[in-house]
Structure 1
Amino acid sequence: MDALFDTHWKTIRVSRREAVVEVRLHRPEARNALNAELMEELTQAARLLRLRTDVLAVVLTGAETWFSAGADLSGRGGSEQPKLIEQRRTVMAGPDLCRAWQEIEAVTIAAIEGYCIGGACALAVACDFRLMGEGAYMRLPEVPLGMNMSWRTLPRLVALIGPARTKRYVMFGEKADAAQCLDWGLCDELVEAGQALAAAHVLADKVAALPPLPVRMTKEAVNAIAAATSHASIYMDRDQFLLASRTADQREGIAAFREKRPGRFEGD
């Protein structure tokens, strides 16, 4: 039995063509928003892919008109909160997801159409390459919502686009369209709308034609260099998230988002 292909996945679709595997987010009713189940299945799939020697490239994609709306906020705001230590465990789901995808030994390629927001952007940044169709964009709305950008994403962004652009991109929560992402280095290839997945498979086939050992050695070495101080610099980001999530500003940020109005923040 091959657990990767024989598992009855509920929120993802996994397929294979020779040495290339495609993983597709599949929560169309929620615009592929990352709820607990989708995050768990994506993490599980990545762990099953991690050391496979028969897989040389992995393409991660969403729907034809969107990648993902980001973290699913629909379940937040309940009256009862679990203990802080339990919340601390729960909020590791995002960092664990991104780490699992970063640790896949095969080359990983995110094919992005439409919007790629918040946690979905963090996931895409954990892949080796990002290909975007015209009209696609990435956005990190966390700070304007009263949260810090967590999921251990900041070091990956700094390595890709540098410190000043990371500050601008994260602080303002504004869209970075495909052309801007290409200019910054957040996107590796810009193609016509609707062609990101096809272009990702072309790149995956190109990777699969290379000698696999030096490809994996190169990936591991480059990632080690880029992330040499990552853990030391970002290991507290989940605790920062828990602190931010208990502030009045965070509650105001979520309320303003849902009510489609500007937030009124007081630093509390």
Structure 2
Amino acid sequence: MALSQLSQFLSVEKGVGPEGRIAVVRFDRGDGLNALSPEAMRQLTAVARSFEDDAETSVVVLTGSAKAFTAGFDLKDAEGRARKEMDVGSLRRALKVGPRMTRAWQEMEQITIGAIEGFAIGGGVALAVALDFRVMAANAHLRVPEIGLGMNMSWQSVPRMLHLIGPARTKQAVILADQRISAQEAYEWGLVEEVAEPGKAFDAAMALAEKVARQPPISVAMTKLTVNRLAHALDDLASHMDGDQYALATMSEDHTEGVAAFRERRKPKFRGR
């Protein structure tokens, strides 16, 4: 087995499981939140791309910390906060980091499995639905708070969620921004494939990974490619503007109010402007 440390919060372990065909990517900032700063997203993109020519790995398990998969975009990160002062061109370029990350994970040839403990929020849900499978601890939850902050759900997450849970559930998950989606609800909706005992999501994900790792690697990779191409054929057409919509939404008064209310721990007063 080979273990590499990409940063202080991201590590990769290869050569695990049957014939050493499983790799484990651990994202842990050590703060209980595991928020996605732009630098964290660049690291997650780089690690996904590092598997492009890896013929020895059939399955990649992505896990967070024991307390959180990820709390989503880091609202306190200095680089992220600097977006407020950017011109439109600079902002459009800066906003590519998120969709670039989720696309990199979706397009991996290896089967990808997310192990979710604690919670996955916003961008954490976006990352999770870009994977092939998701295993969730029974006491964990998901939440998509973007609309409650005066933004829209982007990173091509809406079509990915639509494929998994259908239009009504996607609207419910995204529009009802304060709603926590429990592990049992996520399973019943089809948002996750398995619910594990608390603290055992990673073990359950590894058990699933071992089943995949025992299958013929080339056939598995080709089947994944076929399914993804069919399922996601129109995703770019449907959501090619979601980054620009996000940029537009963040320029609204409602966004300013939503973020202020979040920080002040009060209910926002949206005015549609």
Deviations 1:57-96 (A, max 9, x none): 0000011122111110013555961221011011010000
Distance 2:236 2:81 in 1: 30
Counterpart of 1:14 in structure 2 is 12
Distance 1:37 1:10 in 2: 12
Counterpart of 2:259 in structure 1 is 254
Matching of residues 101-180 of structure 1 within 5 Å: 101-173=105-177, 174-180=179-185
**5+ residue gaps in structure 2?**
none
Counterpart of 1:226 in structure 2 is 231
Deviations 1:27-51 (A, max 9, x none): 1126210001111110000001133
Counterpart of 1:70 in structure 2 is 72
Deviations 1:99-147 (A, max 9, x none): 0000110100000011100101100100000001111111100001100
Q: Secondary structure at the match of 2:258?
A: helix
Alpha carbon RMSD of aligned pairs, Å? 1.5
Tell me which amino acid in the other structure corresponds to 1:147.
Answer: M
Are the counterparts in 1 of residues 137 and 200 from structure 2 also a CA contact under 8 Å? yes
Distance 2:24 2:132 in 1: 15
Alignment partner for residue 209 of structure 2, among 184, 204, 212?
204
Query: TM-score with structure 1 length normalisation?
Result: 0.95
Counterpart of 1:194 in structure 2 is 199
Are the counterparts in 2 of residues 50 and 103 from structure 1 also a CA contact under 8 Å? no
Out of 51-60 and 78-87, give the one that drifted further: 78-87
Counterpart of 1:59 in structure 2 is 61
Distance 2:51 2:83 in 1: 39
Counterpart of 1:264 in structure 2 is 269
Distance change in 2, residues 1:126/1:79 (3 Å): closer
Alignment partner for residue 27 of structure 1, among 26, 29, 35?
29
What fraction of aligned residue pairs are identical, expressed as a percent?
43
Out of 92-101 and 216-225, give the one that drifted further: 216-225
Following TM superposition, by how much is the alpha carbon of 1:7 offset from its aligned partner in structure 2, in angstroms?
A: 5.8
**5+ residue gaps in structure 1?**
none
Which aligned runs of 4 or more in structure 1 are off by greater than 2 angstroms? Answer: 4-11, 75-80
Distance 2:261 2:146 in 1: 13
Q: Secondary structure at the match of 1:240?
A: helix
Distance 1:68 1:79 in 2: 21
How many correspondences in the alignment?
A: 265
Distance 1:244 1:142 in 2: 10
Distance 2:264 2:230 in 1: 44
Counterpart of 2:44 in structure 1 is 42
Are the counterparts in 2 of residues 51 and 105 from structure 1 also a CA contact under 8 Å? no
Q: Secondary structure at the match of 2:25?
A: strand
Deviations 1:229-266 (A, max 9, x none): 10001000000001000000000000000111100000
Are the counterparts in 1 of residues 4 and 13 from structure 2 also a CA contact under 8 Å? no
Distance 1:206 1:77 in 2: 43
Are the counterparts in 1 of residues 42 and 101 from structure 2 also a CA contact under 8 Å? yes
Are the counterparts in 2 of residues 11 and 37 from structure 1 also a CA contact under 8 Å? no
Q: Secondary structure at the match of 1:58?
A: strand
Distance change in 2, residues 1:8/1:67 (3 Å): closer
Following TM superposition, by how much is the alpha carbon of 1:14 offset from its aligned partner in structure 2, in angstroms?
A: 1.1
Distance change in 2, residues 1:68/1:106 (3 Å): same
Query: TM-score with structure 2 length normalisation?
Result: 0.94
